[in-house]
Amino acid sequence: MICSGQSVFTGRTIDVRFGRTIEEVTDAANPSQLLIAPGFIDLQVNGFAGVDFNSPVATLPEISRAIDAILATGVTRFLPTVITGPPDAMLAALANLRRAQRELPRGRAIAGFHVEGPHIGAEDGPRGAHPAACVRPPDPDEFRRWQHATDNHIRLVTLSPHWPDAPRYIAALVRDGVAVSIGHTSATPDQIRAAADAGASLCTHLGNAGPALVPKQPNLYWEQLADDRLSASFIADGIHLSDAFLRAAARAKGPVRTILVTDAAAPAGATPGRYRLGELDVTLTPDADRVVLTGTGKLAGSALRMNHAIANFSRIARASLADAVTAATANPARIIGLPHALAPGCPADLVVFSSADPLTIHQVFLDGELVFSA
């Protein structure tokens, strides 16, 4: 097959010839108004289209429906994310998602799994919406149970480095080929440096799930922004972060270490109303913009779509569209070790879109299969 469009990175109109992988990229004979890029990657998806990935009883048809809805946003690979919960419930949710990855026709869009917690800060603020009763310290045996349930497909773990054994735990996971991210924390600068020394490579939704008040300096936010060993993910929905913080943080991390995530929960892509997020009862507000703990205004994930996140980030951070797309393609791919580029030999994961705000998705290919067409 051949797919044509302007490369979002170079502006050249190109023909991409592909089967399951990209075979050739050449200059096109005819101009195109459409843009082409590698498919987007989302490292943090708690659910979508009314389906809660944290539910051990989410059915294969439900998960398949959620995958199709995610593909329609231009995302071709994503990490279903299981948050803090009882040990047995987390394990059952991971096993259920692994079954979906293995058995669904488009389950290969699941690039692995992200476990966010339960080894996080227990206090209000850093804990975010995670249930306090289920927070617990890092446990190598529990990690091995996650890996056993997923046939070694855990790709990312978010934890707080304030736990005494955190550096040893981080180093063990990194040796096992798992990326470790700092998040949901009030850790000290020394503890953050120790986590990076041990191999942590990411900060999860930086600027969220931390203490409301911190010392002017030093503090955990400056430490994470200044450490070039750490990439940082951001929820660019215009709600989770102020425009000024997102703009300044993106400049600090630069175009190579900035990553966009949706942190989407089950209500994303669904109608307003009440849903579940693991142990939590959550509500999509009537304007369909916010996911909150039911009965409160406290954010619990997001209703964000990745094509919206890219457009929002470009506008708010005053970044080029090329840099915004890089934050949703090459940068997250590097964190979890995926080959991902408009280059021969890479998987034929492609998205064709126009640069409206939000981005309008026209076609999506997964391993060379057309999985969405407008």
The answer to the question of residue 17 being in a domain is: no
CA atoms within 13 A of residue 160's CA, in its CB half-sphere: 28
Residue 57's CB: how many other CB atoms inside 10 A? 9
Question: Which tens digit of pLDDT belongs to each residue from 108-149?
Answer: 999 999 999 999 999 999 999 999 999 999 999 999 999 999
Phi, psi angles (nearest 5°) of residue 181: -120, 145
Tally of domains in the chain: 1
Closest CA to 231 of 217, 252, 208: 252
The answer to the question of residue 43 being in a domain is: yes
What is the Cα–Cα distance from 374 to 364, expressed in whole angstroms?
Answer: 9
The answer to the question of residue 159 being in a domain is: yes
What is the Cα–Cα distance from 331 to 256, expressed in whole angstroms?
Answer: 6
Range of the domain at 243: 38-338
Share of the chain above pLDDT 70, in %: 100
What is the Cα–Cα distance from 247 to 316, expressed in whole angstroms?
Answer: 7
As a whole number, mean pLDDT of residues 162-184 equals 98
**The predicted structure's pLDDT at residue 309:** 98
Closest CA to 370 of 71, 49, 158: 71
The answer to the question of residue 5 being in a domain is: no
Which amino acid is located at 216 in the chain? K
**The predicted structure's pLDDT at residue 51:** 98
The answer to the question of residue 3 being in a domain is: no
pTM of the model: 0.98
Would the pLDDT of 356 be above 90? no
**The predicted structure's pLDDT at residue 135:** 98
The answer to the question of residue 229 being in a domain is: yes
**The predicted structure's pLDDT at residue 358:** 82
The answer to the question of residue 368 being in a domain is: no
Would the pLDDT of 45 be above 90? yes
For strand 35-38 and strand 350-354, is the pairing parallel, antiparallel, or unpaired?
A: antiparallel
Would the pLDDT of 357 be above 90? no
Catalytic residue among 52, 227, 237, 263: 263
Is 263 a catalytic site residue?
yes
**The predicted structure's pLDDT at residue 354:** 96
Question: Which tens digit of pLDDT belongs to each residue from 178-228?
Answer: 999 999 999 999 999 999 999 999 999 999 999 989 999 999 999 999 999
Which CATH number characterizes residue 268's domain? 3.20.20.140
Question: Which tens digit of pLDDT belongs to each residue from 67-90?
Answer: 999 999 999 999 999 999 999 999
What is the Cα–Cα distance from 44 to 159, expressed in whole angstroms?
Answer: 14
The answer to the question of residue 352 being in a domain is: no
What is the Cα–Cα distance from 197 to 161, expressed in whole angstroms?
Answer: 11
Question: Which tens digit of pLDDT belongs to each residue from 289-324?
Answer: 999 999 999 999 999 999 999 999 999 999 999 999
For all residues of the chain together, what is the average pLDDT? 97
